[in-house]
């Protein structure tokens, strides 16, 4: 059994922060003490943990020398301040904020690159990647060598929970307004979200790409150890509360052996492969689950090197909270 460690969760008053605390409790994480931290209006909230209600403290006033491991969720300004304080205190940091360049902070998905952590054991901070990167990496890792992966094209359908509790409340409010024939007032998304799909999830750069679309490409290359992998990503916003859906097309260097590929997927950790003739959905299959679901695995219609598949995953639980906690478990096993 690993030694007990002091843990801080920064950004505890958020969808991901609360889910992370739940997962810590469910998995019996070896805690000596748990500190829940936030900033602004998030200070002073009550979060349940092991039959008690823990109050959130002020992240900017916390002494990080009291803990050995920090989970960093939240806004970029708070994340930057607390990351610096935690590093100065000698803590290990699992960073879910997606605010540090991929090249500057290694990504960690235990099912994919957990065995390579020892090569960078002197690193203090690790990124828990975007939920979409987590799902993609877990699905592609078992088949990347067999397929000699050359290119990945993905359309990621993001639920409104990707924008936090504000996104969830916005979809609920808009739905109520429309169903009750009241005027619609877009706030969080800027346009009608209920009963609609939006072609982008954030502001675009001069070339027409979103930061998250560029980041998922960089994270996937790093996680799979394929620096030259071509990745084309499109993120769209869909009127679903929780659970993301990914439409994925892969191109290999030779004709795909579909029997070997499906066998590899079926045997891989963290994956539930749905048999041909059926398919999983985010709401019915993925939400609340600790695995990603993969279905509709098929060869391309005109190119035998092409493989298409469908992935659904719980973006808050599996893609964010659970990946971070599993990463923490990996670190304390050998390095704390």
Q: How many CB atoms lie within 10 A of CB 181?
A: 6
Local structure of residue 119 (DSSP, 8 states)? G
Looking at residue 76, its pLDDT comes to 74
pLDDT tens-digit series, residues 67-126: 999 999 977 788 889 999 999 999 999 999 999 999 999 999 999 998 877 766 678 899
Using an 8 Å Cβ cutoff, are 189 and 172 in contact? no
Looking at residue 117, its pLDDT comes to 76
Alpha-carbon gap, residue 152 to 207, rounded angstroms = 19
Give the residue-averaged pLDDT of 124-129. Answer: 93
Q: Identify the helix (H) or strand (E) that includes residue 212.
A: helix 211-224
Concatenate the DSSP letters of all residues of 132-175 into one string: HHHHHHHHHTTTHHHHT--EEEEEEEE-GGGG-HHHHHHHHHHH
Q: Where are the domains of the chain?
A: 5-129+320-334, 134-315
Using an 8 Å Cβ cutoff, are 135 and 225 in contact? no
Give the residue-averaged pLDDT of 237-256. Answer: 97
Using an 8 Å Cβ cutoff, are 17 and 53 in contact? no
pLDDT tens-digit series, residues 34-44: 999 999 989 99
The CATH class, in words, for 5-129+320-334 is alpha beta
pLDDT tens-digit series, residues 141-173: 999 978 999 999 999 999 999 999 999 999 999
Alpha-carbon gap, residue 286 to 1, rounded angstroms = 31
Q: pLDDT band at residue 277, thresholds of 50, 70 and 90? A: confident
Looking at residue 2, its pLDDT comes to 58
Average confidence score pLDDT of the chain: 93
Q: Of 76, 90, 151, which is closest to residue 122 (Cα–Cα)?
A: 90
Q: Identify the helix (H) or strand (E) that includes residue 7.
A: strand 5-10
Looking at residue 1, its pLDDT comes to 47
CATH entry, 134-315, from 3.30.360.10, 3.40.640.10, 3.30.830.10, 3.40.50.300: 3.30.360.10
pLDDT value at 187 more than 60: yes
């Amino acid at each position: 059994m690993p030694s007990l460690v002091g843990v801080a969760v920064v950004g505890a008053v958020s969808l991901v922060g609360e889910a992370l605390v739940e997962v810590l409790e469910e998995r019996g994480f070896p805690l000596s003490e748990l500190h829940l931290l936030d900033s602004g209006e998030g200070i002073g909230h009550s979060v349940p943990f092991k039959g008690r209600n823990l109050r959130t403290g002020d992240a900017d006033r916390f002494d990080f020398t009291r803990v050995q491991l920090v989970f960093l969720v939240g806004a970029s300004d708070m994340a930057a301040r607390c990351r610096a304080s935690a590093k100065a205190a000698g803590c290990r940091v699992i960073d879910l904020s997606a605010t540090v360049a991929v090249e500057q902070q290694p990504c960690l998905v235990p099912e994919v690159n957990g065995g390579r952590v020892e090569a960078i054991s002197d690193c203090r901070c690790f990124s828990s990647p975007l939920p979409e990167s987590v799902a993609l990496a877990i699905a592609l890792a078992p088949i990347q060598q067999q397929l000699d992966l050359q290119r990945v094209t993905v359309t990621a359908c993001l639920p409104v929970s990707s924008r936090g509790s504000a996104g969830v409340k916005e979809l609920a409010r808009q739905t109520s307004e429309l169903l009750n024939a009241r005027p619609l007032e877009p706030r969080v998304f800027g346009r009608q979200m209920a009963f609609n799909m939006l072609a982008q999830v954030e502001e675009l750069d001069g070339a027409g790409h979103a930061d998250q679309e560029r980041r998922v490409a960089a994270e996937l290359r790093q996680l799979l150890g394929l620096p030259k992998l071509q990745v084309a990503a499109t993120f769209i916003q869909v009127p679903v509360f929780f659970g993301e859906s990914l439409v994925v097309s892969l191109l290999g260097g030779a004709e795909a052996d579909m029997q070997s590929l499906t066998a590899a997927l079926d045997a891989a950790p963290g994956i539930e492969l749905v048999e041909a003739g059926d398919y999983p959905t985010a709401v019915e299959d993925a939400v609340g689950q600790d695995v990603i679901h993969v279905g509709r695995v098929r060869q391309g219609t005109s190119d035998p090197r092409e493989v298409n598949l469908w992935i659904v995953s719980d973006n808050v639980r599996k893609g964010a909270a659970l990946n971070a906690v599993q990463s923490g478990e990996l670190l304390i096993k050998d390095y704390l």
